[in-house]
């Protein structure tokens, strides 16, 4: 939408004032700002034009105006100030990540950091089968009827599964089976491994003797369970902090929001969209396409390991937020998380 310079200036100052103060903003308040330098009557006329364009609106109880989702969108896309975290803050974040050694814990820690820095809800989407690459699998006998399978992915995550078996294997046989499996599937995504496993077991050729077939079946079980553990795909932190946000204080709004947090399905779908785009994605209000997030904004960024996008992280808060600060926090956290995961992988 094309606005003239005066309209842009009024909209920018109205949004910034509303974000800072939290009340509807009147023409008199804006006219006193040095950045505008025009009369209250002029501001009032410009605000009327902005309201007709659907960029600002008047709440029931006030003569002042607040931004609409469309008004916030123009502000975020073309008027937002550049905000940079201090070197000290970045060093503290980097140090916080460096203390974690387990990738699973590291991902959860990133969610905690986002919540702590923004005072909103932090969210991290874990790598899924379409991007997570297989590194190796190991088998250990536990008893005559039980086998421990250890799945390790390239992002350093480790999954353990105890599986029932109908026949007993020697440890050397299990090593041979793991070597066969690792050589055959290393570097494939888990999705590719699962698909190739099905094909290989259906072919059941001479190369795959009894032990290797058992390994295939055991590995198939582990990877299938990894695929269906969707309850662990999203890590949320700080969602209780949203209870203290005045803009989200209505019971119905909070009920819808926390139901979305509980099911996680809509969050996964929304954040998956940001995973496919470059850089920061900002979803404002109804732009998300989900009624539960109608009063919220979601700021998200993909994170990478060795240059490959493997997941997404972000912040969920009210539409009235300091977008410049939150965008900077999300951006830096995504970069530091990727750096730390890459370092753990190389290590």
CA dihedral 144, 146, 152, 156 (to 10 degrees): -120
Q: Give tens-digit pLDDT for 12-31.
A: 999 999 999 999 999 999 99
Report helix, strand and coil shares of the chain as percent, to nearest 5. 55, 20, 25
Residue 292 CB neighbour total at 10 angstroms = 19
Is the domain spanning 87-126+233-346 CATH 3.30.450.40? The answer is yes
Select from 18, 57, 22, 53 the least CA-distant residue to 30.
18
Of 220, 233, 223, nearest to 128 by C-alpha is 233
Collapse the DSSP code of 208 into the 3-class scheme (helix H, G, I; strand E, B; otherwise coil) and give the result: coil
The per-residue pLDDT for range 158-204, each reduced to its tens digit, is 777 888 877 777 888 888 888 888 888 888 888 788 788 777 766 65
Give phi and psi for 161, each to the nearest 5: -135, 135
Using CA atoms, how far apart are residues 28 and 67, in angstroms rounded to an integer? 17
Q: What is the pLDDT along the chain (347 residues), one digit of tens a residue?
A: 789 999 999 999 999 999 999 999 999 999 999 888 889 999 999 999 999 999 999 987 667 999 999 999 999 999 988 788 778 878 878 887 877 767 778 888 899 999 999 999 999 988 765 567 788 888 888 887 888 888 888 776 777 788 887 777 788 888 888 888 888 888 888 878 878 877 776 665 555 555 566 666 777 777 666 554 444 578 899 999 999 998 888 888 888 888 888 878 788 888 888 887 878 999 999 898 888 999 999 999 999 887 888 889 999 999 999 999 999 999 999 999 988 888 766 55
Q: Is the dihedral of CA 246, 319, 323, 9 positive or negative?
A: negative
User: E strands along the chain, which residues?
Assistant: 56-57, 66-67, 121-125, 134-141, 146-153, 158-164, 234-237, 281-284, 296-305, 308-318
Distances (CA, A) of 2 to 5, 50, 220, 282: 10, 11, 56, 20
Per-residue burial over 156-192, b = 16 or more CB atoms within 10 Å of its CB, e = otherwise: bbebebebebeeebeeebbebbbebbbebbeeebbbe
CA distance 177 to 207: 12
Domain 134-229 has what CATH class? alpha beta
The model's pTM is 0.74
Give domain limits for the chain.
5-77, 87-126+233-346, 134-229
DSSP letters for 213-241: HHHHHHHHHHHHHHHH-GGGSEEEE-GGG
Q: Which residue has the tokens 């606005």?
A: 3
The topology under which CATH files domain 5-77 is Arc Repressor Mutant, subunit A (1.10.10)
d(CA 293, CA 79): 24
């Amino acid at each position: 939408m094309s606005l003239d310079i005066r309209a842009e200036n009024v909209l920018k100052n109205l949004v910034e004032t509303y974000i800072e103060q939290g009340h509807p903003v009147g023409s008199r308040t804006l006219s006193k700002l040095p950045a505008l330098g025009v009369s209250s009557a002029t501001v009032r006329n410009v605000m009327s034009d902005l309201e007709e364009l659907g960029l600002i609106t008047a709440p029931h109880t006030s003569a002042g105006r607040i931004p609409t989702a469309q008004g916030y969108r123009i502000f975020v896309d073309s008027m937002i100030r550049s905000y940079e975290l201090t070197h000290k803050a970045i060093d503290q974040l980097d140090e916080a990540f460096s203390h974690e050694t387990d990738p699973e814990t590291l991902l959860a820690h990133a969610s905690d950091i986002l919540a702590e820095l923004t005072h909103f809800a932090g969210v991290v989407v874990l790598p899924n089968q379409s991007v997570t690459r297989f590194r190796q699998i190991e088998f250990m006998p536990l008893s005559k009827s039980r086998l421990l399978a250890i799945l390790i992915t390239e992002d350093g995550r480790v999954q353990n599964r105890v599986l029932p078996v109908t026949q007993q294997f020697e440890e050397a046989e299990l090593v041979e089976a793991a070597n066969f499996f690792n050589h055959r599937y290393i570097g494939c995504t888990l999705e590719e491994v699962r698909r190739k496993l099905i094909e290989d077991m259906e072919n059941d050729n001479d190369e795959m003797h009894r032990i290797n077939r058992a390994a295939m079946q055991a590995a198939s079980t582990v990877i299938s369970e990894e695929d269906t553990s969707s309850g662990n795909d999203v890590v949320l932190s700080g969602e209780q902090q949203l209870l203290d946000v005045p803009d989200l204080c209505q019971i119905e709004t909070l009920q819808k929001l926390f139901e979305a947090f509980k099911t996680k399905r809509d969050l996964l779908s929304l954040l998956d969209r940001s995973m496919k785009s470059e850089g920061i994605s900002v979803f404002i209000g109804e732009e998300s396409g989900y009624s539960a997030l109608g009063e919220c904004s979601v700021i998200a960024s993909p994170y990478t390991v060795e240059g490959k996008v493997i997941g997404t992280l972000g912040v969920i808060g009210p539409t009235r937020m300091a977008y410049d600060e939150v965008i900077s926090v999300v951006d830096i956290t995504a970069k530091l998380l990727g750096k730390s995961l890459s370092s753990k992988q190389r290590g």
